[in-house]
Amino acid sequence: MQNADLSFILRNSWLVPALPLFSFAVVALFARRFSEKAAGVVATASVFGSAVAAGLVARDYFRIFPPGTDGQALVPWSIEWLRYQDRLSITVGVLVDPISVLLMVVVTTVSFLVHLYSTGYMRGERGYGRYFAFLNLFTFSMLGLVVASNILQMYMCWELVGLSSFLLIGFYYSRPAAVAASKKAFIVTRFADLGFFIGIILLGYHGFNLLDGQHPFDFITLSSPASLEKLAGATSGFLGVGLLPLAAVLVFMGAAGKSAMFPLHIWLPDAMEGPTPVSALIHAATMVVAGVYLVARMFGVFAAAGDALLLVAYVGAFTCFFAAVIACTQDDVKRVLAFSTLSQIGYMMFALGVSSAAHPMGYTASMFHLFTHAFFKALLFLGAGAVIHATHTSEIWKMGGLRRKMPLTHATFLVATLSIAGIWPFSGFFSKDEILLSALASGHHGVFAIGLLTAGLTAFYMFRLYFLVFSGFPRDEQAGHAHEAPLVMLIPLVALAILSVLAGWVPFSDFVRFGGGGGFHEEGHALVAALGTVAALLGIGFSWFLYAGKGTRAEALAARFGALHLVVKHKFYIDEIYLFITHKIIFRCIAAPVAWFDRNVVDGGVNLSGWCARVSSRGLTFLQTGQAQAYGAWLVGGSIIVLLVAWAARL
Partner 1 sequence: MLEVLASNPPGVFHWLVLSSLLFSIGVYGMLSRRNAIGVLMGVELALNSGALNFVLFNRLLAPATVDGEVMSIFIVTVAAAEAVVGMAIFVLLFKQMKTVDMTQASQMRH
Residues in contact with partner 1 by CB under 8 A are 621, 624-629, 632-633, 636
Which amino acid is located at 110 in the chain? V
State residue 474 phi and psi, 5-degree precision. -60, 135
Q: Which is nearer to partner 1, 549 or 637 (CB)?
A: 637
Supply the minimum distance, in Å, between the C-beta of residue 613 and partner 1: 16
Supply the minimum distance, in Å, between the C-beta of residue 649 and partner 1: 22
Q: Which is nearer to partner 1, 604 or 638 (CB)?
A: 638
Q: Which is nearer to partner 1, 585 or 613 (CB)?
A: 613
Helices and strands: H and E segment counts in the chain: 32, 2
Rounded to an integer, what distance in angstroms lies between the CA atom of residue 405 and that of residue 645?
A: 101
Q: Is the peptide bond before 275 cis (omega within 30 degrees of 0)?
A: no
**Those residues with Cβ within 8 angstroms of residue 351's Cβ, 6 or more apart along the chain or in another chain:** 316, 362, 363, 365, 366, 369, 434, 435, 438, 439
- Work out the angle at residue 438's Cα, subtended by the Cα atoms of residues 250 and 536, and round it to the nearest 5 degrees: 105
Q: Which is nearer to partner 1, 124 or 626 (CB)?
A: 626
Supply the minimum distance, in Å, between the C-beta of residue 630 and partner 1: 9
Which amino acid is located at 420 in the chain? I
Q: How many CA atoms lie within 13 A of 464 on its CB side?
A: 30
Which amino acid is located at 490 in the chain? L
Q: Which is nearer to partner 1, 30 or 631 (CB)?
A: 631
Supply the minimum distance, in Å, between the C-beta of residue 644 and partner 1: 15
Rounded to an integer, what distance in angstroms lies between the CA atom of residue 137 and that of residue 208?
A: 33
Q: Which is nearer to partner 1, 611 or 631 (CB)?
A: 631
Supply the minimum distance, in Å, between the C-beta of residue 614 and partner 1: 14
Supply the minimum distance, in Å, between the C-beta of residue 635 and partner 1: 9
Q: Which is nearer to partner 1, 609 or 621 (CB)?
A: 621
Supply the minimum distance, in Å, between the C-beta of residue 190 and partner 1: 55
Task: Specify the length of the chain in residues.
Answer: 651
Rounded to an integer, what distance in angstroms lies between the CA atom of residue 331 and that of residue 555?
A: 13
Supply the minimum distance, in Å, between the C-beta of residue 636 and partner 1: 6
Q: Which is nearer to partner 1, 606 or 628 (CB)?
A: 628
Burial of 282 (0-12, 13-18, 19+ CB in 10 A): buried
Per-residue DSSP letters for 183-238? HHHHHHHHHHHHHHHHHHHHHHHHHHHHSTTS-TTBHHHHH-HHHHHHHHT-B-SS
